[in-house]
Amino acid sequence: MLAYEPRKAVSGGPLPLPRRLRTELLLVGKASERRITQLASYYIIFMIADVVSIHDVVNYVLNITTCCTPEGRRDYECTPIKIPVHDPVHRYSGVNCMNLTRPQSYQTYRCLDNGTTFERIVFQTPVFDLSNTYNIMPGFIDHLRTYENGLMIEEEEDGQLFPPSDPNSHMCILNQPPRETRCFMYQLNNVMSSSIINILFYRQHNQIARELHRLNPRWGDERLFYTARDINMAISVQIFFYELLPILFGKKNMIRDGIIGHGGFRDLYDESVEPRMSDEYIYGMRWFHLIQKTDLKLYDKEGHYVRSFPLVNGTTRTGFFAVDNNMQHIVQGSFRQLGGRFDQAIDYDMADRVFGGIFFSADVAASDLKKGRYFGLQPYVNYKEFCTNKKYTSFEDLKDSFSFERLDRLMEMYKDPKDIDLMAGLWGENPIKGGKIPSTLYCLFAEQLKRTLKSDRHWYERPNRPHAFTEDQLKAIRKVTIAGVLCSIGDLVSEIQPHAFCSISSDNPLTKCSSSKIGKLDLTPWKEHSCE
């Protein structure tokens, strides 16, 4: 295989070590965002998993774990993270390396010839379609369906419903038998936060299918299944675009840029636009590692604090959900616990033990930065120029985008502004006005989301798509909130704040699920009166 190597500094020398950049540019600690709950970070990761496959993580966590050994130094696939001699954490630990492999590409799988432009491979579909819930592998959905009344297979354990388990799976390596044995048949077995929301949307499919069957008893299995899936997908995107992203991006920004509308149908479809996810969108989503709190606070159904649990210990450990009411406690904690602060700091566990007990030490942010170099991404200032139509030739040109302290740190780490890695720039950049995320990150996300609206033939807001919703059906979708979803299929959720991505307050109080203030799904617009 023809080697692909990352860019060098403008001077021709190497760029700074990713681990050193992480320790110098990011603080490490715990801080809470006063107005946003932990549920927001769960949903972000869930939506990332809809368009991003985890094959690279599986490769260096399960397949190639020897990159820090003499054998690994000779392996082309290995690109370990080097630990500086004076590392603030590991200078006395003896750890001088963290395992990491190259991103797999279309060249890796011989889809493109060696010598062609490196292009990272992604196995998920390039549109928001719950491919993480329904699975993307050809024919695999057949293993999840009952072929009766549109339902998917569910298994009950300790009074809770889960997707089917595979006793032969080797993915749940942190399960603690004999009690923890559940390991799902497909990719729901990755990080805990994504798995939780996936389980909920899996359950929601069956709830929708059962209600559709009650309303339309003459419908067959195929129609019930695909109608339920269509509704389920639309709800997931409605919540993402209209409930969560306005909090993070700023609602006015999103309306101005045409990412969301004012209500009713929208049809921006352009068949000349290819449906695909940019590397910048997929990579930029890694910035949200900064807001991930890792000490999960678990609560019971009455809202009483039960205990804390390290989030990183739940990676590849789905057996944990089915014991000791843990699923219930995690769901309850998701909308009660405050989320991580949007700042230039990262949680301790994300910085040094992101995979729990799989590796002695792993730094997700250093890994993110290094992967950006192997993705072939351009320097930060190139994206800044794309977004602002301005030139940035000196550090002085960046003074309006960073605080004095943040810019000073970048100047200490990099000799030329053209050397700044995209993620390093995003870590310190000022947020967009009205939003929570860095302005350049917003620009890259907005560019992708607008392309998604144009390229997705089956976008749920389109009036002219195949099997389009009626006006009343679309209105019903728009009323659904994440609070309504948790009330409907969460474990013993009887009360929740109406805006569950936002913290409980006098303006957003805990409210009974039976209240009209909770946005639940009404399927009566799907009732065919000819069946009466």
Residues that constitute the known binding site for heme b? 289
Strands 345-346 and 27-28: parallel
Q: Which DSSP helix (H) or strand (E) runs through 340?
A: strand 338-340
Which CA distances in Å does 260 have to 107, 254, 271, 301?
A: 37, 6, 20, 35
Other Cβ atoms within 10 Å of 470 Cβ, number: 11
Tokens 């497909």 sit on residue? 186
Q: Give the pair of three-digit tokens for residue 333.
A: 């904690």
Secondary structure string (H, E, C) spanning 466-489: CCCCCHHHHHHHHCCCHHHHHHHH
Beta-bridged to residue 152, according to DSSP, are 145
CA 500 – CA 243 distance, rounded (Å): 10
∠ Cα 149 151 153 (to 5°): 140
Q: Give the pair of three-digit tokens for residue 387.
A: 């977004």
Q: Quick check: 106 and 121 in contact, CB under 8 A?
A: yes
Nearest to 67 by CA among 375, 362, 353: 362
Nearest to 508 by CA among 494, 520, 497: 497
Tokens 């890796």 sit on residue? 108
Question: Sign of the CA dihedral 443, 446, 447, 448?
Answer: positive
∠ Cα 488 42 340 (to 5°): 125
User: At what angle are helices 221-239 and 471-478 packed, to 10 degrees?
Assistant: 50
Torsion angles phi and psi, residue 492, rounded to 5 = 60, 35
CA 79 – CA 178 distance, rounded (Å): 36
Q: Give the pair of three-digit tokens for residue 294.
A: 């890792």
Tokens 């715990």 sit on residue? 30
Read out DSSP for 312-340?
Answer: GGGTT-GGGGGSTTHHHHHHHHHHHSEEE
Q: Quick check: 490 and 321 in contact, CB under 8 A?
A: no
Query: Quick one: 444 exposed, middle or buried, by C-beta within 10 A (0-12, 13-18, 19+)?
Result: buried
CA 167 – CA 120 distance, rounded (Å): 32
Q: Quick check: 30 and 374 in contact, CB under 8 A?
A: no
- DSSP structure class, residue 273: S
Q: In which region does residue 147 sit, left (phi positive, over 0), alpha (psi from -120 to 50) or beta (all else)?
A: left
Single-letter amino acid, residue 176: Q
Cβ neighbours for 517, distance < 8 A, ≥ 6 positions apart: 498, 511
